[in-house]
Amino acid sequence: MSGRRRRTPVLAARQHRSGTILTGIVVLALAAAWAAQHAMAASHYEDRTASRLSLVWLALFFVFLAQTLMYHLERPRRLTPRLSRQLDELHVSILVPVYNEDPGYLKLGLESFLRQTRLPNSVHIVDDGSTSSDYADVRAWWHRAAAEAGVTSTWQRVPNGGKRHAQAHAVRVSPEADIYITCDSDSCFAPNAVAEALAPFTRPRVQSVAGIVIATNNRANLFARITDLWFTTTQLVDRSGQSAVGAVMVNSGPLAAYRAGIIRDNLGSYLNETFMGRPVMFSDDSLLTLYAQERGLTVQQPSAVVFTAMPEKWSHFSRMYLRWMRGSTIRSVWRMRYLSMARPAFWLHMLRWFQMFLVQMVTVWLLFVEPIAFDNLPPATMLWVPFLIGWAQGLRYLGVIRSDERIRSRALTWLLMPLAIVMAWTVLRWLRWYGIATCARTGWGTRQNGAEVSLGGTTPIAANVAPPVAKLYDMDDESVLQVGAPLR
């Protein structure tokens, strides 16, 4: 067996750009346009109705076209040796709030920090009054491992005050930090995640950097596959388009980096946010992103990848999604109130609301108004349009190459896109509007009774943490498929 095959398993991933994927997107987009044209031509709408709908379809087409062009303009920031030396001088602190996390996922994530090609200078863990475990074994192991790797570390246990207050405890014991990296307690960084997340900071105007989040447990069941497909595609389509103009709206909790002043200078308002007289306990990542937008550019670095535990049950996912939609509504109010109209993020935010309302109006018109008022049913070919567009955008999902999964398994997940679209157009659409209507419910709502996802036996956990090396994996080598979880 070669030395490479004997290495300790490491979860790694990278984004692969190719003309094949771009060609596929163009072909499927054209097919979607043909289906839409055919559906309109085959319909029996009267001339005035067809004229009105043509304007709506034209508007939606241009929004889709602009979005497609924007996410293809995103490029990861590349480092030169000189810029790398500048970044090496920065003090990088990772903030890790922990509350009722599965000990296996927590240890997996902490191990990943010590495997980085660019080690963090310090890691600060805050147990926010967990009731399911005291993490004594993980804590004892971590102190030894961090000391051996030369990484400064603190571990605090504080009364439960919420994620923001846990992060604040970590900020207060790391006044020397130049960059704060926020993560979740189940975040597992790819080996080059820290180095890649730092790269955009070579541009002085960049204030925050979002990583790409993919599921650790993406093959746990059908629901986990669909969730991973939907979430990854959203990041590489919507957020990549925003990043192209330096206007990422929301950084993801599992991996985001900020200039330290963004968090320190706004810590008071961050901890004391209220909405309709109630303290806001969620939407922390979007609030930090808003602070960063007020000062400069917010970007995504698609080469900075983090693995996280996705919901495996509908009850867990629905509560998480409702929390996102309520937080999104609150954050929209703050963007309209505080974000300058000179910022691209302001107009992208307005465009998103315009698109959402327009799509909702078209859906109601085609499915209810036309059949009831005009006795015109939408042609069956119209149903192919969202599926073709979804498959076209979902090709971005296939561009993420993982060390623990073969391409045929990812292709199988990609074929599930119709299920993801049906879920988005039905249940998630109603949850979105319900979340908007109930945005005053500002409690967290998950993990109150312990971790909702536990680490399975197929995910790799190293018994001992190897010292950091320049490169732990070669994503272009077929042997990488032997590294990681057993392949099935």
- pTM of the prediction? 0.84
pLDDT of residue 155: 97
Has residue 480 been placed in a domain?
no
Name the most confidently modeled range: 7-21, 233-247, 340-354, 373-387: 233-247
Q: Mean pLDDT throughout 254-273?
A: 96
Task: Give 102-112 pLDDT, tens digit per residue.
Answer: 999 999 999 99
pLDDT at 351: 82
Round to whole Å and give the CA distance between 345 and 321: 23
pLDDT digits (tens, 9 = 90+) for 1-35: 333 333 446 888 888 766 556 656 666 666 666 66
Domain with 439 in it: what CATH number? Answer: 3.90.550.10
Q: Does 482 reside within a domain?
A: no
Task: Inform me whether the pLDDT recorded for 366 exceeds 80.
Answer: no
**Residue 4 domain-assigned?**
no
38 vs 87, residue with greater confidence: 87
Does the pLDDT of residue 473 top 60, yes or no? Answer: no
Q: Taking 90 as the threshold, does the pLDDT of residue 380 lie above it?
A: no
**How far is it, in rounded angstroms, from Cα 362 to Cα 64?**
15
Find the domain containing 256 and state its range.
Answer: 10-456+467-475
Highest mean pLDDT among 42-51, 300-309, 422-431, 437-446: 300-309
Would you say residue 447 lies in a domain? Answer: yes
* E strand or H helix that includes residue 86: helix 81-88
Mean pLDDT across the chain, nearest whole number? 82
Tell whether 481 is covered by a domain.
Answer: no
Distance from first CA to last CA of the chain, Å, rounded? Answer: 21
Number of domains in the chain: 1
Q: Please tell me which residue, 316 or 94, carries the higher pLDDT value.
A: 94
Residue 240 lies in a domain: yes
